[in-house]
Amino acid sequence: MAPAGGSPETAQQFGANRSAISLAMNIYKNLGTSAPSKTSAIPGDASQPGSPRSPPWTLQTMAMPATPVVEALIDVYFERLHWFIWIFHKPSFEEQARQILSMASWGREDMSKVLVTLTVAALGLKCALQDTSPYGQQLLASISPDPRGLMDQMIAELRLHLLDLLDDNCIETVQVTLLLGAFYIFHGSPSLAWATIGLSVRASYALALHCASETDDRVATQIRRRCWNHLTVADTFASQIYGRPGSLDSAFSDLLPLAEMDDTAIDLSSEPQIQGRVGVGDGTVTALTFHWLKYKLYEIIRKTLSTFRLLRLHNPLTAEELQSLIDAVHHIEGHLAEWRRTLPPLLSSDNLSRDFAQHCSTERLASHSHQSQNHDLRRVKLQACLLQITYDAAIILTHRPLLEHRLSSAYCQDVSKRFTDTVSRSFDVSVKAALRISKIPILDFKNEFCMAFIFIHLFTAGVILCIPPTSHPNSKTAQDAKAGVFRIIQAAKELRLHSQIARHTERLLSDLLKLSLHREVDMAFKEERRWLDQRPSSTRHSPDHSHMTSAPEDRVQPSRQSYLSQSGPEENAEANKETFIPSLLTPSSLDRTASLSQEDIGMRNLGDELDVQYSGFSNLGSADGCETEPLGLPLDEALGSFGQCKLHALMFNLMPDDPLNHWGWGKGTM
């Protein structure tokens, strides 16, 4: 892949890594005097003076598990997590871990290496806990009688030493805080995740990881750059889903170029058909390819978040703000389309879903899941799916402001049809992206660390898909959207025992779907009454209903026409008595995933609790009482049924333990 980021000279611009201490050191140099040999004598200098080996250092609340156990957990980490979070060089890390585990005692200077080894083992154990296969159960039995308790012990031990690790300020500080942030963002407390990722940003800047400097140790240089590039992803993702400003300084957030190394090759020699189709024989597609594409995509997402915040939009919008917003959306769309064109065939989800179906089937790969054969192929399939999910999530993020904001009635007369068409297109593009996300083969990620990452995006997609039934009732778009929500709910139900996010996705989307379906029924009856009211008085009271079947097509509302398209005169007459029940609640009208029972999709205890729990969903008036007009009436009615504040919290501010968010899913293992 082509490297990104500026030259080393550009990266070392003023403010990139300059401090008052640096100024003092330069003055010493300009005066022809060497700086103090003990640099810590300068106030604020963080470097550690040389000292003899310190007294022994140990873990406080536990002993390091036996060497075979730790090595097995490290293997699980590199099998299940390394392809997703790329911050290590596998050969050098494994060698370092062997040295640490073979030592009879540790000194204080070994603490950072011990803790990063313990962190990798803890996250490997987290992945192992998700594996319910016979192999996975056998592995857990060999590790500990209480593997979950062991994982909790490991995480608790890491927390005890976190401040000391921050004080050391080494590359392991960044690695441990990044992994703890990932653990908490997906499997614990997002509040801790937010703070911990912020710690990793500060530690990285202190180590000047953002500067493209070279060292004599090529491996160490690449590890630093892998950590920095992943940090830009972690900080952007946290900002994207929590709706908070990121910790990175936009002036110093460039990606750093990476090099191919001994751990980046992929082996598809066991799959000659696939190798021939995608043309990877020249070695242009490696493990680095996926990560670089991911970095570049999150770079676009980060700039998108920054662009929207700098617009400082009001709600309702002015006509000028609307134009600026539309221009920004078009600009971002261009960047996303350009990124999409850079996808190699091997990492295109289209190719994997069509051309490689028989080679990448879950059953075939599962039969070799614990063998070297097909390991790289399976990893590439998962990476292609993740790129597609992240791309579609970026599409939704890009069009989100046009779906959220309203336009003041004072400016409605200045809005041309082109503007309203743009808003309608944003809605259509967002729904299509959400539908693609809903079709991701989530069960393929059942034993992967990133399963919770996918459910976060599935949840957002499900919220988007709850809008079409209310904005376009009984249309094909509405039917497809409901089928998509059913797919997501069913997937969440399948994996609810493996993920807290899956459990809450099932519950929250089931509740939201109830509201969407009830709103769809209400709108169907509303259009029914409107159609009846628009009929001439003599026709309205005529006992002869034969004219209904011969009425001009434009006299019938579209949704009503679809309701009655398969009904005879008798059924139509009953409909005119307002006893018509639309087919939109019939599971068989959806795809095969919608054949769930009411219990399966969580449609229980409907009754009056909806009126109490979601009373805010009936009002979309502006807070200041200003008269407003929606950008698109159907979408506005849909938003009105959910309540704008709650919908915003659902879709775009997913802080699960935020005390201000009624939709929080709370703390605990996710």
pLDDT tens sequence across 326-358: 999 999 999 999 999 999 988 887 765 544 444
User: Mean of the pLDDT values across residues 375-395?
Assistant: 93
Poorest-pLDDT segment among 16-25, 104-113, 447-456: 16-25
Poorest-pLDDT segment among 253-262, 274-283, 398-407, 588-597: 588-597
Residue 272 banded pLDDT, cuts 50, 70, 90: low
According to DSSP, residue 265 is labeled: -
Show the 3-state SS of 466-524.
CCHHHHCCCCHHHHHHHHHHHHHHHHHHHCCCCCHHHHHHHHHHHHHHHHHHHHHHHHH
Question: Looking at residue 318, what is its pLDDT?
Answer: 80
Q: What is the mean pLDDT of the chain?
A: 76
Question: Looking at residue 402, what is its pLDDT?
Answer: 87
Burial of 380 (0-12, 13-18, 19+ CB in 10 A): buried
Please tell me which residue, 154 or 10, carries the higher pLDDT value: 154
Residue 274 banded pLDDT, cuts 50, 70, 90: low
What predicted TM-score, i.e. pTM, was given to this entire model? Answer: 0.77
Please tell me which residue, 646 or 68, carries the higher pLDDT value: 68
Q: Is the pLDDT of residue 381 over 70?
A: yes
For tokens 């068409």, name the residue. Answer: 421
Residue 123 banded pLDDT, cuts 50, 70, 90: very high
State pLDDT tens for residues 436-453: 999 999 999 998 999 989
Q: Is residue 130 helix, strand or coil?
A: helix
Task: Give the Cα-Cα-Cα angle 396, 402, 405 (nearest 5 degrees).
Answer: 125
Residue 53 banded pLDDT, cuts 50, 70, 90: low
Q: Is the pLDDT of residue 10 over 50?
A: no
Percent of the chain with pLDDT over 70: 64
Phi, psi (degrees; rounded to nearest 5) at 317? -80, 155
Picking from 396, 400, 391, the residue whose alpha carbon sits closest to that of residue 325 is: 400
Please tell me which residue, 54 or 481, carries the higher pLDDT value: 481
State pLDDT tens for residues 78-98: 999 999 999 999 999 999 999
Q: Which residues contact 205 (CB under 8 A, 6 or more apart)?
A: 17, 249, 252
Question: Looking at residue 539, what is its pLDDT?
Answer: 54
